[in-house]
Amino acid sequence: MTTYVLIHGSWHYGELWAPVRRELEARGHEVHTPTCGGLRDGDDPASFDPASSRAVIAGYITAQNLREFVLVGHSGAGGIIMKLAEEFHPRIRRLVFQNAFVPLDGNAILDEVDPVIAAELHKSHAERNDGSVVLSLNTWREMFMNDADLESATAAYRLLRPHPFKTLTDKVDYSKFYALELPRSYLNFLEDNAIGQSEQWGWHPRMSSRLGVCRLVQAHGCHEVMLTNPRLLAEKLVEAGRD
């Protein structure tokens, strides 16, 4: 039995892992799916930056006294698990980056995406004026959930929550992470083009190569494989997270 801590990406929250959680639990694993600060019901997005959003997860790990766990970060949670690794590395068995950012030291998440996506989010921030950003349905459908039909993508889109903009724009010191020796895997779904549709902005090998020596696991699927094929994702998380 392995303990998994699954950290969601931008616009998501812990409950969206439910189909994957059921698949992993059916295989005998223990699964935790906390929600980051700024994405819980009642949170004020303007009140959260990378540190305060991440602190909610750190508090959960401490309160649950979790040890010997596999820490999984999806998408924007790549930077989150890097910082959590700095704090909790003696307790972590392995890090798994699922089509996740591996930001360069000192970068913000939006420094790492196609400028077309960054421009859309800056526009959303200006229009909403509440400290949050949202994606357009068109971007979601074509870049995040591109292997689903329109009805399924629209239904999933309605589940998303506005995301705290500062968690995407504030620059973060990752220098301690890059000095850590900790087993790590990169899980790459081949149809995932959520951060850009050119090789210049892709996930692999651009992000995965920054991990140094790591286990690479690949499969077919989109950025939202947690919703479109949770059984496959569970299988690949086990493959990526094994000792």
CATH number, residue 19 = 3.40.50.1820
User: Using an 8 Å Cβ cutoff, are 192 and 78 in contact?
Assistant: no
What DSSP element (H or E) covers 164?
A: strand 163-164
Q: Report the candidate in 222, 207, 232 with the shortest Cα–Cα distance to residue 76.
A: 207
User: Using an 8 Å Cβ cutoff, are 45 and 65 in contact?
Assistant: no
Domain extent at residue 95: 3-241
Q: What is the pLDDT of residue 165?
A: 98
Residue by residue, pLDDT tens for the chain (243 residues) are 999 999 999 999 999 999 999 999 999 999 999 999 999 999 999 999 999 999 999 999 999 999 999 999 999 999 999 999 999 999 999 999 999 999 999 999 999 999 999 999 999 999 999 999 999 999 999 999 999 999 999 999 999 999 999 999 999 999 999 999 999 999 999 999 999 877 789 999 999 999 999 999 999 999 999 999 999 999 999 999 999
Distance separating alpha carbons of residues 102 and 225, to the nearest angstrom: 20
What total of structural domains would you count in the chain? Answer: 1
